[in-house]
Amino acid sequence: MNDAEALKKIAGEAACEFVKTGMRVGLGTGSTVKYTVLELGRRIAEEGLEIVGVPTSFATENLATEVGIPLVELGSLDDLDIVIDGTDEFDPSFQLIKGGGAALLREKIVAQQSAAMVVVADHRKQVDCLGAFGIPIEITPFACDVTVSALSSLLNCKVELRTSEGKHILTDNGNCIADAQIGPSITDPISTEAMILNVAGVVQVGLFNNMCDAVVLASESGVSTLMNPDGRL
């Protein structure tokens, strides 16, 4: 395991401290929260932890099933106690960019239904201003090139459809993913999110505003938990 992967493992496991028996837990998607899912599975098997989980992607659903986490449909619950998820960037105001794993729509639905959101990250995800990662945007396949062109004009930056082996990458919802290479320039993420959502063809945008309550941050010096002073935890 290389240093970056080791930091992900440390952060992912540390976030499990927020999970208590009886909780309804949103299970995020990505290479860091994978370790959260693995640790929750271990605690169920070895410590008798009793929870139910709601996965945010097929990949997380498969992993959670493998490690023995009982899963339920989100619609069968009134709400969730907590969601633990990763991030591609977070700023000093605890605003996030997510969607590198192409699961942003499901992740945002689950986050909106959760009483609290804990983000797991390593120090590379901490930024002064959002945008260097780009903004993932889930869009409908219909006339996707037209939507990409509209977004490019709106944001005044390069917007590209995410592809693999010459084919569009599709989300678990059957939509396309576009990445807006806006650079570290998002000083008002709330307005930027609203502006992008106003474009016909856009399903959801990877700006997660006013959702994150804490960040479990791993660095070479160890793990620290950053609490949002305006958060719910």
Q: What is the pLDDT of residue 220?
A: 84
* Pair type for strands 135-139 and 176-181: antiparallel
Model confidence over 119-143: pLDDT tens digits? 999 999 999 999 999 999 999 999 9
Q: What is the pLDDT of residue 44?
A: 98
Catalytic residue among 39, 61, 107, 138: 107
Q: What is the pLDDT of residue 167?
A: 93
Q: Which of 14, 19, 104 is nearest to 69 (CA)?
A: 19
Its pTM stands at 0.94
What percentage of residues in the chain have a pLDDT greater than 90?
A: 92
Q: Is the pLDDT of residue 178 over 80?
A: yes
- Domains along the chain? 3-125+209-220 (3.40.50.1360), 135-204 (3.30.70.260)
| 107 is known as an active-site residue | yes
